[in-house]
Amino acid sequence: MAVLEILKYPHPILRKRSETVTRIDGEVKKLIEDMRETMYHAGGIGLAACQIGVPQRVIVLDVSPMDPQYSYVALINPEVISEEGEVDHEEGCLSVPDCLEKVKRKERVSVRGLSPQGREIEMKGEGILAIALQHEMDHLNGILILDRVSRLKREIYRNKLKKEKRKEERP
Report, as residue numbers or ranges, the catalytic residues.
Answer: 136
Long-range (24+ apart) CB contacts under 8 A made by 157-161 are: 157/96, 157/99, 160/98, 161/9, 161/10
d(CA 113, CA 131): 17
- Chain centroid offset of residue 106 CA: 16
Instruction: Count CB-CB contacts under 10 A for residue 133.
Output: 28
Give residue 150's identity as a one-letter amino acid code. Answer: S
Q: Is 142 left (phi over 0), alpha (psi -120 to 50) or beta?
A: left
Number of Cβ within 10 Å of residue 147's Cβ equals 12
